[in-house]
Amino acid sequence: MTTHAAAVGRAPMPGMEVYNLKLGMWVFLLSEVMFFTGLIGSYIILRFAHPEHFAQPGVVLNVPLTAFNTFILICSSVTMVKAFAAIEQGDQKGLKRWLLATIALGTLFVGVQVVEYTVLASEGFVPMAEAYHAIGRGNPHDGPALGGPLYGATFYTMTGFHGTHVTIGVLCMWFVLWRASKGAYTAQSYGGVEIMGLYWHFVDLVWIILFTIVYLI
């Protein structure tokens, strides 16, 4: 085949040295970048136009809890690369173990987020403009409202879409685990694990940005 390509008188292959699945996942992730750019851009417009709608960091939102959650997601990225490294060596057991760990951490992340949402909602921090009355963390319920409805709307939209991505990731990970349990991946063929990893790390990457913008600034 190489001789054949040489006969054409040009470099051997026009394509990238990347297999289809991986290329497709990267291309898809580019569109995800734009999706979150749209959300972050909206946040910036709204925040600069109405700074009074946004409370100081840590007043309404629970930063320590979310920092802990960020830590969980970073750990889940490590377990994911461990799963990938395992199958690269043909280690089936390691693959399944690390995948399961990633699923557990991902689920924990979503669980913490649900708890966070519930507490915030009980403190009057909701996306609905008319019902918005955030009193801040641990303040008495008759306190003055902190920030404004744009805060609630942007917060829930941005973190909510990220949470949805994590949830979808966990579901896909169950599928990968099921395939792994049937021995679908080998040291030579592990495309499914690799693109799962790409998606998962991307979701982690988005969280790193969102955590900074939404919670800390």
Partner 1 sequence: METEARHKHPPYMLVWGVLFVLTMVEVFYAFMDIPKVYIAVGLIIMAVWKALLVALYYMHLRFEPKRLWVLAASPLPLVVILLTFVLFENF
Partner 2 sequence: MSTTQHDMVNRAEAGGHHDHHEPPFIRKYIFSTDHKTIAKQFMFVSLFFLVVGGLLATLMRWQLGFPSQPMPGGGVFPDAMMAPTPGGAIMLPEFYNSLVTMHGTIMIFFAIMPLLVGLFGNLLIPLQIGAPDMAFPRLNMASFWLAVPAGILMLASFAVEGGAAGAGWTSYAPLSASGEYTGVYLGQQLWLVSLAVLGFSSLAGAVNYISTVINMRAPGMTWFRIPLATWALFITAVLVLLAMPILAGALIMLLFDQTIGTAFFLPEFDGEPLLWQHLFWFFGHPEVYILILPAMGIASEVISNRARKPIFGYHSMVLAIIAIAFLGWIVWGHHMFQSGMNPMLGTSFMISTMAIAVPSAIKTFNWLATLWKGDLHLDSPMLYAIAFVSLFIIGGLSGVYMASTPVDVYIHDTYFIVAHIHYVLFGGSLFAIFAGITFWYPKMFGRLMNERLNKIHFLLTFVFYNLVFWPMHNLGLQGMMRRIYDFTQYEYLQPLQPMNRFITICVFILVASQSLYAISFFWSLFKGEKATNNPWNSNGLEWTVPSPPPHGNFAEMPVVYRGPYEYSSPESDTDFLPQTTPPRDRPAPAPVPTPQGA
Using CB under 8 A, list all residues that contact partner 2: 1-2, 4-5, 7-10, 12-21, 23-24, 27-28, 30-32, 34-35, 37-39, 41-42, 45-46, 49-50, 53, 127-131, 148-150, 152-154, 157
* SS3 category, 112: helix
- The answer to whether the beta carbons of residues 164 and 180 sit under 8 Å apart is no
- Please select the residue that binds partner 1; options are 58, 94, 127, 192, rule is CB under 8 A: 58
Which residue from 12, 38, 90, 111 is in contact with partner 1, where contact means CB under 8 A? Answer: 38
Among 39, 59, 78, 112, binds partner 1 (CB under 8 A): 78
Instruction: Choose which of 6, 74, 171, 184 interacts with partner 1 (CB under 8 A).
Output: 74
Q: Give the residue, chosen from 6, 45, 128, 184, that forms a contact with partner 1 under the rule CB under 8 A.
A: 45
Residues in contact with 13: Cβ distance below 8 Å, sequence separation at least 6, in sequence order: 5
Q: How far apart are CA 94 and CA 31, in angstroms?
A: 32
Residues 211, 217: Cα–Cα separation, whole Å: 9
One residue of 12, 21, 37, 168 binding partner 1 per CB under 8 A = 37
- For the chain, the residue count is 217
Please, which residues have CB within 8 angstroms of residue 151's CB and are 6 or more apart in sequence? Answer: 53, 54, 55, 60, 125, 132, 134
For residue 61, give the nearest of 3, 116, 133, 122 by alpha carbon: 116
Q: How far apart are CA 35 and CA 27, in angstroms?
A: 13
Q: Per CB under 8 A, which of residues 169..208 are in contact with partner 1?
A: 197-198, 201-202, 204-205, 208
Nearer residue to partner 1 within complex by CB, 146 or 198 = 198
Q: Which residues bind partner 1 (CB under 8 A)?
A: 16-19, 23, 26-27, 29-30, 33-34, 37-38, 40-41, 44-45, 48-49, 57-58, 63-64, 67, 70-71, 74-75, 77-78, 80-82, 85, 88, 197-198, 201-202, 204-205, 208-209, 211-213, 216-217
